[in-house]
Amino acid sequence: MIGRLLHRLVFVLALLSLGGCTLYQSMGQSTGAYLDPVAGENFVHIPNTSWDSSADALFYFYRPHSEWAADELESPSVYIDGKHYFNLRDDSYTWIEVYPGERHVVMRRPLMGFEGLGSFNLDKIVDAKVNVKAGHIYYFRYSEVSPPKQTNPDLDQSSPLATGSLQLVTRDYAMTEIVKTHFLTSDSLASNDAARSIVAHNRDYDYEHEKARLKKELKKELEQMKEQGFWHPAPWYWPFGGGPTREPAAQQKLDALEKAHDAWIESQKKPSSGFFGWWPF
């Protein structure tokens, strides 16, 4: 019965999302520790050879054990730059390699996997921006029942990551707790997409947001150029003509952005061996 209701809910929400609203859900990934205890190995830092410590950064997320979390039927979701990666169960940790810059971290609590639609959220635990530096390691601690005993001196104390259930703690403090947690495995009851690099997604996210910002800047600049007389009038025979007398600065920025993004995409392509061989048959 519950299964049928859940499928109907998914179907209705999927139809609503076709109208342009983003659907937030973690169905098949939100199972809590009561039904699926974490069974991974004890915490250990991943080796530097497993991530690019010269160019990227590393996020560790962990959740200390508590009786409340152990009795949880559904665990909360973690999103980075708008994409869901995992649900953090009791007594667990995982990691994500990220690209430097402003990363957007959101945590939501689901109900049968459903978390929100568009601007509506069932329970948004945290919504915060993190200014990430290359080569740095960041430790995110989640607990609903016990705040950390020490605050992070590098954080503005008004930051949601300094006051909420998900807090950015120092390495020294994290080491007093995270070593007792276990790796967040991905299984049939609660799959996840963590313990990997998401640099490509971060770069695409940055590119799309910067492109949108520059397009708004270009529109505003063109309007100013029209008002200031830096504009070719449209010919009488073609009402859709006309344009600026010089290239807008925002257009130059857009072109440079496109060129840099295309160059990065090209650099990620695996080189061809160049050997086609010869097959006599």
Please write the tens of the pLDDT for every residue from 176-210. Answer: 999 999 999 999 999 999 999 999 999 999 999 99
Between residues 6 and 145, the one the model is more confident about:
145
Calculate the dihedral angle through the C-alpha atoms of 250, 252, 258, 264, rounding to the nearest 10 degrees. Answer: -120
pLDDT at residue 89 greater than cutoff 70: yes
Average pLDDT across the chain, whole number: 89
Confidence of residue 260 (pLDDT cuts 50, 70, 90): very high
pLDDT at residue 17 greater than cutoff 50: no
Mean pLDDT to the nearest integer, 151-161? 91
pLDDT at residue 16 greater than cutoff 90: no
Of 16-30, 144-158, 165-179, 209-223, where does mean pLDDT reach its minimum?
A: 16-30
Between residues 240 and 200, the one the model is more confident about:
200
Of 37-41, 145-149, 239-243, where does mean pLDDT reach its minimum?
A: 239-243
Q: What is the pLDDT of residue 7?
A: 47
Q: What is the 3-state secondary structure (H, E, C) of the chain?
A: CHHHHHHHHHHHHHHHHCCCCCEEECCCCCECCCCCCCCCCECCCCCHHHCCCCCCEEEEEEECCCHHHHCCCECCEEEECCEEEEECCCCEEEEEEECCEEEEEEEECCECCEEEECCEECCEEEEEEEEECCCCEEEEEECCCCCCCCCCCCCCCCCHHHHCCEEEECHHHHCCCHHHCEECCCCCCCCCCCCEECHHHHHHHHHHHHHHHHHHHHHHHHHHHHHHCCEECCCCCCCCCCEECCCCHHHHHHHHHHHHHHHHHHHHCCCCCCCCCCCCC
pLDDT at residue 216 greater than cutoff 80: yes
pLDDT at residue 57 greater than cutoff 60: yes
Give the rounded distance of the alpha carbon of 147 from its chain centre.
24
Q: Where are the domains of the chain?
A: 21-197, 203-268
Of 51-60, 118-127, 268-277, where does mean pLDDT reach its minimum?
A: 268-277
Q: What is the pLDDT of residue 234?
A: 80
As to burial, measured by CB atoms within 10 angstroms (0-12 exposed, 13-18 middle, 19+ buried), residue 218 is: middle
pTM score of the predicted model: 0.86
Confidence of residue 258 (pLDDT cuts 50, 70, 90): very high
Q: Is the dihedral of CA 241, 245, 250, 254 positive or negative?
A: positive
Q: What is the pLDDT of residue 10?
A: 52
Confidence of residue 11 (pLDDT cuts 50, 70, 90): very low
